[in-house]
Structure 1
Amino acid sequence: MLFSEIYSAYYNAVAAILTEAVVHPVMDEELINIIEKYAFEESKFVILEELKKEKWQLIRKDGTTPIKNKPTMPLTLLQKRWLKAVMSDPRIQLFGETSYEKSTIN
């Protein structure tokens, strides 16, 4: 599980790229800067190559994207478990009324 949490950096980097590409075409320099900010140093070789070859079909050659809306990242299993633990504590009601149902977070 830790492995998937660490490597979600790829997903975060691509989400940041797509967020920019929805607004304006992204060029190589901007792609590299975003990848360096959100992922590992060596990730720029993998992510950039896959995007430029259009293997992932997320960025076109002109730097635009076929995606219309900014991407959102779903909660990870670790985040869901943390939320469930916090919401299961009866003291959470000290902070106000919650609309939590135990079946909503697995």
Structure 2
Amino acid sequence: MLKIENLTKSYENKVVFKKLNLEINDGEVLSIVGPSGIGKTTLLKIIAGLCGADSGKMVIDGQKINVTEKNQNALIGVIFQDFNLFPQYTLLGNITLAPRIVKN
């Protein structure tokens, strides 16, 4: 289960989202849709531990996650959809590259 409470993120003077609340139970599927620049990718980056939020709380499967800083021990992985794959590796090689480097 993923539970987010009062998540707030801003860049300089632009508020991306303020006091966002979200709960996704095991087995549920959520789609995040909206126009460009609304904060979809920022939310996913915070959930995955790739960037920090300004404030808020997050719990993943009962484990409290510090959302105010990057979390190298995050429980969520991200595969980007754009050109971020390395051409010299297979798809499997690209997907497993980061865990192999970070966790050996």
Range into which the TM-score falls when normalised by the shorter chain: under 0.3
Higher helix share: 1
Higher strand share: 2
Q: TM-score, normalised by structure 1?
A: 0.27
